[in-house]
Structure 1
Amino acid sequence: MMLFTEVRGLPVVPPDESGPLGTVTSLTVDMVSGTVSHVRFRGSRFGGETVLPWESVDTFGPGAVRVGSIGAVESVRPHHDLLGRRILTDTGTGHGTVLDVAFDTGTGRLLAVFTTRGELPADRLLGLGDYALVVRAG
């Protein structure tokens, strides 16, 4: 298990470990499956963001994100970062903001969302948009 905040800023290392490709900027979540779908990283201060599918990642560790293949760069729709996002229940009630997200580094499955109002199980997540993360009222 790792937290999104632990992954942000980690170097992305290619299979030959020839040097970092960049540093992780964020993780994209597929709300339907409840998993991390993409790793986003920036190669240099002025470089554009690169998006790798989850399947390209070999391992997540405390020191780096190791990728198995860098040829699978994808173009994906705009992404909404979970960290700092406002939370609303499906009945429209505010439920604080997202502080962090725990996920399984082997499968990418979300485990829990840590909010300003406590912990939410990942199975309560319904959708993520421009305005808020929507969760099932509990």
Structure 2
Amino acid sequence: MVITALLAASPAGAQTSAPPHAWLFGAWIGGLFPPPSAVSAQECLAQPVVIFTRDIVMRATLTDQLYTQRLVETARSTGSGFEFRFAQSLPIAASSPFSQPPSPGETGFGCENPDVLHVQRRGENEISFLGCPEFPYPLVRCPAR
């Protein structure tokens, strides 16, 4: 009987809760341009604009073929979405000998603070970045395959 009680208690204690931003995990399209009204999973996943993971948020830029990656320092749920605070960016070297290194503002999302991102949840599969002029349009989640 004691063994049964221990076995029953152990899975509940071993479970870890998901991070507050788990709903965002995955690939998103739009933001830089209006999101398409219909897109297949293959088309969307071929070049997403933003990718959210547990520890990193990646974004595409118009001027570089590589994604800008930001390490999540904290993520918290707000009344209308989520707030991310990123670890301070390290200086980035130029991607080629002929290009200029990006300015410190280019490591963020074009928001008032490059180390903070406010995400507004607009619908079941739609978000927007508040106060980020580089993302004037909403983003939509890439559909499952």
TM-score scaled by length of structure 1: 0.29
Bigger share in helix: 2
In terms of fraction of residues, the more strand-rich structure is: 1
Q: TM-score, normalised by structure 2?
A: 0.28
